[in-house]
Amino acid sequence: MKEKILELARQFYPRVVELRREIHADPELSLEENKTSALVAKTLESLGVKVGTGIAKTGVIGLLEGSHEGKCAGIRADMDALPILELTGLPFASKNPGVMHACGHDAHTAMALGAAMILSELKSELHGSVKFLFQPSEEKAPGGALTMIEEGALKKPDVAVMFGLHVEAHTPAGMVGFRPGALFASADEIYITITGRGGHGAMPHLGIDSIVVASHVVIALQTIVSRRIDPFEQCVVTIGKFTGGTATNIIPREVSLAGTMRTMNQALREKVYKNIDDIVRGVTRAMDAEYELRIVKGYPALINDEDVSAFAATAAKDLLGKDSIYTAQTFMGAEDYAYFLQNVPGTFFRLGVCEPKQKTVAGIHDARFMLDERAMLNGTATLAYLAASYLNRHS
């Protein structure tokens, strides 16, 4: 089956590129992926795949049934774009001003469709079924994964294992990376309001300067990572927004702070929640101010199953050769694929998309982000091979 999958990947590669460019040229924001969903559904139906639409509003599910009984493997791809004005100059650049596929979801969707093309040709040899989950709204919390799960995407038939991938901008094109355990971080939003007592800038002793208090809070929060967390643990606390004041000679009554926190495990996540509250409460109390703290929980840490990740790395090495496999590094970005892994054992792997001769590379979420489309050949083949190999081994 390995040689057949590689040959079919080469055969369908031009169509995968064509699909990726069509999606790239007409990007859609989270929960607005109507044209993308329609294209996905039409492509799956042409392959004889059973299709369900309107999942989590704009999601699509395709079920490919093999000729032999067995388990069900899931392949997930996200479909949404970002609110970014594209600056790549590509001939198939976004025709929708201010919207761009700057995170590779166009390629993720095209590769999953390519895997469906390959496996539909091999269903006579397939033990079990493959469920393709085309997910909306990965970029916008609470994300589409959780809603798809709540609407039964992992049931009828029950998904036994999950596979998914994400492009990696700084790794050579076609390299495939695996990592058991934590790969992506949890992501939570921090909102703090500091309330003091306003007054004239020339008479600060009569007020409680919310800007000074908030500044001390920002500095003190940095001690969470530098002094309260084990140096071998991974954590980020960033205040990215500081809003307050109206004039040079007015001490404002109120200042607002907003930021993000990232951790790689739930225990540390809970500890940082408490650390933030302790620090904000302590600083404001010491400076006679008041505060309101709100933490909006986002995606959990993405934890790859140890056994499935080991299986996938071995299978990919068998398919592509050891020189195409690398150990993926942990990434403090977040991914709602984590919700799938909380429900089903699986793995999420990285696909290098950097053109080897490039001296400078624009990363994901950059208006200049481009990917080497040749990488999609390996990505498509790997998705198909992992699903087929797992099913036929566990039938």
List, in order of start, the domains of the chain with CATH numbers.
2-183+301-393 (3.40.630.10), 186-297 (3.30.70.360)
Q: CA–CA separation, 109 vs 115, rounded Å?
A: 10
- Which residue out of 65, 138, 188, 336 is catalytically annotated? 138
Compute CA 345 distance to the chain's CA centroid, rounded to the nearest angstrom.
17
**Per-residue confidence (pLDDT) for residue 361, from 0 to 100:** 86
Tokens of residue 391, six digits: 């099913």
Residue with tokens 């992501």: 187
Q: CA–CA separation, 99 vs 81, rounded Å?
A: 7
Q: What is the mean pLDDT of each run of 10 residues along the chain (395 residues)?
A: 97 98 98 98 98 98 97 98 97 98 98 98 97 98 97 98 97 97 98 98 97 98 97 96 97 98 97 98 98 97 98 98 97 97 98 85 95 97 98 90
Q: CA–CA separation, 270 vs 261, rounded Å?
A: 11
Q: What are phi and psi of 373, to 5 degrees?
A: -65, -20
- Which residue out of 80, 86, 139, 336 is catalytically annotated? 80
**Per-residue confidence (pLDDT) for residue 11, from 0 to 100:** 98
Give pLDDT tens digits for 32-58.
999 999 999 999 999 999 999 999 999
DSSP 3-state assignment of 309?
Answer: helix
Long-range pairs of 151-157 with CB within 8 A, sequence gap ≥ 24: 151/55, 151/56, 153/55, 153/56, 153/59, 153/61, 154/74, 154/340, 154/343, 154/344, 157/63, 157/72, 157/129, 157/131
Query: Could you confirm whether 366 is annotated as catalytic?
Result: no
Please count the CA atoms within 13 angstroms of the CA of 110 that sit on its side-chain side: 27
pTM: 0.94
**Per-residue confidence (pLDDT) for residue 359, from 0 to 100:** 67
Contact between residue 365 and residue 84 where contact means Cβ atoms under 8 Å apart: yes
DSSP string of 288-303, one letter each residue: T-EEEEEEEE-PPPEE
Q: CA–CA separation, 120 vs 134, rounded Å?
A: 17
Q: CA–CA separation, 329 vs 135, rounded Å?
A: 24
Query: Could you confirm whether 288 is annotated as catalytic?
Result: no
Contact between residue 114 and residue 120 where contact means Cβ atoms under 8 Å apart: no
DSSP 3-state assignment of 124?
Answer: helix
CA-wise closest residue to 133 among 297, 301, 307, 348: 348
Number of helices (H) and strands (E), helices first, in the chain? 10, 16
User: Please, which residues have CB within 8 angstroms of residue 243's CB and are 6 or more apart in sequence?
Assistant: 255, 256, 257, 258
Helix 105-121 with 375-393: angle, nearest 10 deg: 50
Give pLDDT tens digits for 160-211.
999 999 999 999 999 999 999 999 999 999 999 999 999 999 999 999 999 9
Q: CA–CA separation, 107 vs 370, rounded Å?
A: 11
